[in-house]
Amino acid sequence: MAQIMRESLTEILGLKDIVRTGWVRNDVKNPESVAAHSWGMAILALKLTPKELDLSKVLSLCLVHDIPEVRVGDLTPHDDCSTKAEDEFKAMKELAPEWLSLFQEYEMGETEEAKFVKQLDKLDMGLQAMIYESKQDLDLSEFKSSALSKISNLELSSLII
């Protein structure tokens, strides 16, 4: 049992080594990892989660939402995503079945917490684009525009504008 748990955990921790594809495609030097993105979302959640939402649920959704990427990869709209949903579900079921319901909640985006976390996902991307633009001579406005198009919460979108 410990061996299986160790293998699963070490595979999940591999998210620290998977760099975010969109940044690589746009020539960002030293791009963040998928795990760094999830951590960024968790920090945003601690700062920005409205009192009426369940902070524990929001943090959990932030931390598990990209776990399948350790197997499936960090796919972007530029990739073939035709089997992404099925591949991610299978990966999550095998890697962390105890968190499958959280992953599905995020993917369906129907609860208030999931809707909020989906916006944090885009906010983190938009803020990270701003960070890279300020440190590197890059135009990442497409990332900020994409983020803004998906964020309906005015308080959150004002952080990118």
- Please report the pLDDT score of residue 74 as a whole number: 87
Question: What mean pLDDT value characterizes the chain?
Answer: 95
- Alpha-carbon torsion 122, 44, 141, 132, what sign? negative
Does the pLDDT at position 138 exceed 90? yes
Instruction: Find the length of the chain.
Output: 161
- The answer to whether residue 10 is domain-embedded is yes
What is the band of 73 on the pLDDT scale with cuts at 50, 70, 90?
confident
- The answer to whether residue 78 is domain-embedded is yes
- The answer to whether residue 144 is domain-embedded is no
- The answer to whether residue 40 is domain-embedded is yes
Residue 75: name the closest of 88, 57, 62 by CA. Answer: 88
- The answer to whether residue 113 is domain-embedded is yes
pTM of the complete model beyond 0.85: yes
CATH number for 93: 1.10.3210.10
Domain around 79: 2-118
Number of H helices, E strands in the chain: 10, 0
**What whole-number distance in Å separates Cα of residue 90 and Cα of residue 150?**
26
Query: Could you give the number of structural domains in the chain?
Result: 1
- The answer to whether residue 149 is domain-embedded is no
- The answer to whether residue 140 is domain-embedded is no
Q: 37-66 pLDDT, tens per residue?
A: 999 999 999 999 999 999 999 999 999 999
Contact partners, residue 25, CB within 8 Å, separation at least 6:
76, 78
Which string of DSSP letters, residue by residue, matches 91-155?
HHHHH-GGGHHHHHHHHHT-SHHHHHHHHHHHHHHHHHHHHHHHHSS---HHHHHHHHHH---HH
- The answer to whether residue 28 is domain-embedded is yes
